[in-house]
Amino acid sequence: MNFLDEFIRSESFGISLDAFLGAFFAFLFVRIATLLDRLFARKAKHRDALVSLERLGNEYLNIIARNEFIIDDYIDIAERNLKNQQGFIYFNELHELHIEKDIIKGLGNRELLNDYFSFLASVESMNGSVAATNRFYRDIKNAYISKQIDQETYFKNIERFIEGVKELKAYLRNLEEGNKYLIAKARILLNDERTFYNRLLGRILKKKLTEEQRNRVHDELQQLNSEIETTRKESREETEKILEEIEAERQK
């Protein structure tokens, strides 16, 4: 029996092997735990980004609705005064949509991330149009107030302005549809994140929506549109009630 055979049979070898295996599995478990921690942290970051995206989308819905209201209100006032040849000044301005690029850092679904990138480009373009629209009316309004232009010139610019805001409203509608599409996708992904099955088995972050998730986008959009319509109806009723109360006070 040579030295190697004797060592393998010895108690020292058993102790050494146990120590080696213990150290090896400890190292392996640490590496696995570190990997899982990173995966869970990435999933948590993705989930937080989805929550932020849905919240931002809802804020956009409110801002877009407010801008559409301002446009409709302006057109109504402007056309009535143009018809009666009465001078008027409008003080409300359109609102830009704030951009949150930090959401990009958290989104782990590449498909949704690409959609958001594309949507941000549309938002930035819309903000440029809103700023230009506000600036145009502000300039002609100030010129009219300071009597740098007469009423006829002011009215001609107002007619141009009305056509411009009508086009802008159409772009707002397109932006709203894109926004709702993003909200619907974010809702679906968030809902699946909350289910036990996906929490248990969906630890690896998916880069694209599944076919089943894409099929649910249409239903989610319908649900979202229903919620938006209900909210707007309640808002209109509340506004009409306030206006009626104001009118009643005036007539006293």
Please give the model's pTM, rounded to 2 decimal places: 0.69
pLDDT of 225 > 80? The answer is no
What CA–CA distance (Å, rounded) separates 38 from 32? 10
Identify the pLDDT of residue 3. Answer: 47
Q: How large a percentage of the chain has pLDDT more than 70? A: 65
In contact, 127 and 148? CB cutoff 8 Å: no
**Choice among 16-25, 179-188, 209-218 with the minimum mean pLDDT:** 16-25
Which amino acid, 82?
L
pLDDT at 197 over 50: no
For residue 14, being part of any structural domain is answered with no
Indicate left, alpha or beta for 224 from its phi (over 0: left) and psi (-120 to 50: alpha): alpha
In angstroms, the CA 158 to CA 135 distance is: 13
Mean pLDDT for the chain? 78
pLDDT score, position 143:
95
Whether 228 has a pLDDT exceeding 50, the answer reads yes
13-23: average pLDDT: 54
Both tokens assigned to 189: 């992904």
Residue 133 contacts residue 164 (beta carbons within 8 Å): yes
Q: What is the dihedral of CA 62, 64, 68, 73, to 10 degrees?
A: 50
Identify whether 2 is part of a domain.
no
Nearest to 59 by CA among 182, 165, 164: 182
The mean per-residue pLDDT over the stretch 3-26 comes to: 52
DSSP state string for 25-37: HHHHHHHHHHHHH
Q: What are phi and psi of 96, to 5 degrees?
A: -80, 160
Which residue in this structure is represented by tokens 């109504």?
76
Q: Residue 194: which domain range?
A: 20-251
Question: Rounded to 5 degrees, what angle do the CA atoms 80, 86, 88 make?
Answer: 85
- Please state, in angstroms and rounded to a whole number, the distance separating the CA atoms of residues 142 and 148: 8
The answer to whether residue 11 sits within a structural domain is no
The answer to whether 151 and 87 have CB atoms below 8 angstroms apart is yes
Output 193 or 83, whichever has higher pLDDT: 83
Q: Is the pLDDT of residue 20 over 60?
A: no
What is d(CA 113, CA 108) in angstroms, rounded to the nearest whole number? Answer: 7
The total number of structural domains in the chain stands at 1
Q: Which of 232, 189, 222, 190 is nearest to 61 (CA)?
A: 232
**Poorest-confidence range of 136-145, 168-177, 188-197, 216-225?**
188-197
The reply to whether 6 falls in a domain is: no
Q: How far apart are CA 50 and CA 12, in angstroms?
A: 57
- Answer yes or no: is 108 within a domain: yes
Asked whether the predicted pLDDT for residue 181 surpasses 60, the reply is yes
82 part of a folded domain:
yes
More confident residue, 40 or 133: 133
Task: Evaluate whether residue 138 is within a structural domain.
Answer: yes
Q: What is the pLDDT of residue 4?
A: 45
Place of tokens 């970051």: 45
Which residue would you say has higher pLDDT here, 115 or 212?
Answer: 115
Residue 191 inside a domain? The answer is yes
Number of Cα atoms under 13 Å in the Cβ half of residue 28: 6
pLDDT digits (tens, 9 = 90+) for 198-207: 554 444 455 5
